């Protein structure tokens, strides 16, 4: 947090709001660089990045130094325009081999070095659905909805933009774009999700919807 608090005033203005720290940056380059540092270096801090160069920091849901569990976000806690960023994960050779065995997808682009060497990719690539699955798991590790998710409602506009290779490290950016109540107990939260590699290149995009519990009436008291 100190590094954020001490950003020179010509680059950013910082405000303390309760337990949250809100910083408005003067440029996307600074914001992007800080985003990469936060994803790897501050395990107890969650953050949201807004389109107008604002960064919001607050204690990560589900995390404290003692390891105790805190309930995840309810439907009412999600706000359109908020961005959540996960940590990274390196896709390994074992991931690709194990996913082939689990799914039954032994297409040679994933399993045959000689075949893949002659392809447009020049080497074996990870399964697209492996990348999708890992991106879902990375979201779970942020613990936003671990205790409050009811169902995976659907996925739209799925596009595999670039190949992922063994050794690539991916992370996920999820932007809340819509919330819709579904009765008195749950609501649907819609995200625009982008998966990026270690070079900041987009490898996968999709729009996903989750059914999330509403806050119980007693919790509002």
pLDDT given for residue 5 in this prediction: 42
CATH of the domain at 26: 3.90.1070
201: domain CATH number is 3.10.129.10
pLDDT at 22: 45
Instruction: Classify residue 68: in a domain, yes or no.
Output: no
Domain count, the chain: 2
Both 90 and 199 in one domain: the answer is yes
Task: Establish if 66 belongs to a structural domain.
Answer: no
Q: 173 in a domain, yes or no?
A: yes
> Is residue 11 situated within a structural domain?
yes
Q: What is the pTM of this model?
A: 0.68
How far apart CA 177 and CA 174 sit, in angstroms, is: 9
**CB of 75 closer than 8 Å to CB of 144:** no
Task: Give me the pLDDT at residue 217, please.
Answer: 77
What is the DSSP annotation of 64-104? -TT--------GGG--TT-EEE---EE--HHHHHHHHHHH-
Specify if 112 maps to a domain.
no
Does residue 43 lie within any of the structural domains? Answer: yes
One domain, residues 40 and 146? no
DSSP sequence for 149-167: EEEEEEEEEEEE-S---TT
Which range of residues forms the domain containing residue 19? 2-60
Tell whether 55 and 133 lie within a shared domain: no
Query: Do 90 and 35 share a structural domain?
Result: no
Q: What is the pLDDT along the chain (221 residues), one digit of tens a residue?
A: 334 444 444 444 544 434 444 455 554 444 445 555 554 555 455 555 544 445 555 444 444 444 444 457 899 989 899 888 998 999 999 999 999 999 999 999 999 999 999 999 999 999 999 999 999 999 988 878 888 999 999 999 999 999 999 999 999 999 999 999 998 999 999 999 999 999 999 999 999 999 999 988 764 44
Q: Quick one: 51 and 143 in the same domain?
A: no
> Do 13 and 49 fall within a single domain?
yes
């Amino acid at each position: 947090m100190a590094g954020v608090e001490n950003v020179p005033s010509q680059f950013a203005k910082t405000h303390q709001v309760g337990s949250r720290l809100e910083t408005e940056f003067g440029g996307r380059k600074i914001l992007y660089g800080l985003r990469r540092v936060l994803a790897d270096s501050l395990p107890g801090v969650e953050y949201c990045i807004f389109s107008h160069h604002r960064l919001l920091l607050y204690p990560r849901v589900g995390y404290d130094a003692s390891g105790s569990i805190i309930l995840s976000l309810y439907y009412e806690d999600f706000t359109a325009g908020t961005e959540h960023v996960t940590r990274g994960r390196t896709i390994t050779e074992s991931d690709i081999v194990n996913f082939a065995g689990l799914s039954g997808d032994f297409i040679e682009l994933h399993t045959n070095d000689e075949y893949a060497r002659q392809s447009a990719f020049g080497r074996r690539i990870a399964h697209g659905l492996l990348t999708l699955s890992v991106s879902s798991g990375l979201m779970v590790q942020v613990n936003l909805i671990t205790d409050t998710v009811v169902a995976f409602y659907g996925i739209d506009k799925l596009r595999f933009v670039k190949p992922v290779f063994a050794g690539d490290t991916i992370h996920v950016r999820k932007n809340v774009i819509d919330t819709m109540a579904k009765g008195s107990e749950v609501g649907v939260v819609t995200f625009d999700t982008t998966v990026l590699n270690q070079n900041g290149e987009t490898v996968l995009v999709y729009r996903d919807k989750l059914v999330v519990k509403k806050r119980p009436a007693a919790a509002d008291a």
